[in-house]
Chain A
Amino acid sequence: MKEPSKSNRWISALLLAPTGLWFAFMLVLPLIVILVFSFGERAAVGGYAGGFTFEHYANLGARLKAFTNTLTYAPLGTLLSLLVAYPLAYYLALKVNRRYKLMLLVLVIVPFWTSLLIRTYAWIYILGGRGIPNILDWIGFEGVRLINTPGAVLLGIVYGYLPLMVFPIYVSLEKLNKSLLEASSDLGASPFKTFRQVTLPLSMPGVTTGCMLVFILLMGEFLIPAFLGGGKVYFIGNALVDLFLQSRNWPFGSAISVTLVVIMLVTVSLYMRMTMRNNKTGVDESLM
Chain B
Amino acid sequence: MRFYAIAVYLFLYVPIGIIVLFSFNAGNHASELRGLSVQWYAKALSNPFVGDAFTTSLIVAFTVAILSSLMGTAAALALQRLTGKMRILFDGLIYVSVMIPGIVIGIATLVALVTVFDFLNPLLASIWPAGFEAPKLHMGYASVIAAHTLFTMSLVIIMVRARIAGMDRALIEASMDLYATPWRTFYQVTLPQIYPAILAGFLLSFTFSFDDFIISFFVAGPNTTLPVYIFASIRRGITPEVNAIGTMVLLGSLVLLMTAQYLMREKRKDK
Contact = CB atoms under 8 A, between A and B. Distances in A.
Tell me if chain B binds chain A: yes
B261 interface: yes
B16 A111 contact: yes
A91 B211 CA distance: 30
A93 to B, nearest CB: 12
Interface in A26-70: 26-31, 33-34, 37, 48
Given A95-B1, A125-B238, A115 B250 contact: yes
B90 interface: yes
Interface stretch (A177-185, A194-202, A218-226, A273-281): A218-226
Contact of A223 (B9, B12, B99, B214): B214
Interface string B83-110: 0000000100100110111111101111
Given A118-B250, A253-B107, A107 B9 contact: yes
A122 B234 contact: no
Contacts of A87: 1, 4-5
Interface stretch (A137-145, A167-175, A254-262): A254-262
B102 to A, nearest CB: 6
Contact of B257 (A33, A110, A126, A130): A110
B112 interface: yes
Contact of B112 (A33, A163, A216): A33
Interface residues of A, number: 79
Contact of A33 (B115, B227, B231, B253): B115
B146 A16 contact: no
Contact of B214 (A20, A34, A126, A222): A222
A9 to B, nearest CB: 9
A257 B204 contact: no
A29 B211 contact: no
A176 B77 CA distance: 31
Contact of A122 (B8, B15, B100, B204): B15
Interface string B30-67: 11100000000000000000000000000000000000
A130 B74 contact: no
Nearest to B97: A27
Contact of A22 (B32, B153, B158): B153
B158 A159 contact: no
Interface residues of B, number: 75
Contacts of A189: none
Contacts of A121: 19, 230, 234, 238, 242, 246
B104 A257 contact: yes
A15 interface: yes
A270 interface: no
A159 B213 contact: no
Given A107-B12, A122-B18, A237-B101, 19 more contacts: A15-B75, A16-B75, A19-B90, A26-B146, A28-B93, A37-B111, A88-B5, A110-B254, A113-B253, A114-B253, A121-B246, A122-B15, A123-B15, A125-B22, A130-B31, A219-B101, A223-B214, A241-B217, A244-B110
Interface of B: 1-2, 4-5, 8-9, 11-13, 15-16, 18-19, 22, 30-32, 71-72, 74-75, 77-79, 81-82, 90, 93, 96-97, 99-105, 107-113, 115, 146-147, 149-150, 153, 157-158, 162, 182, 204, 207, 211, 213-214, 217-218, 227, 230-231, 234, 238, 242, 246, 249-250, 253-254, 257, 261, 265
Closest 8 CB pairs of A and B: A220-B101, A30-B108, A122-B15, A15-B78, A130-B31, A30-B112, A19-B75, A118-B246
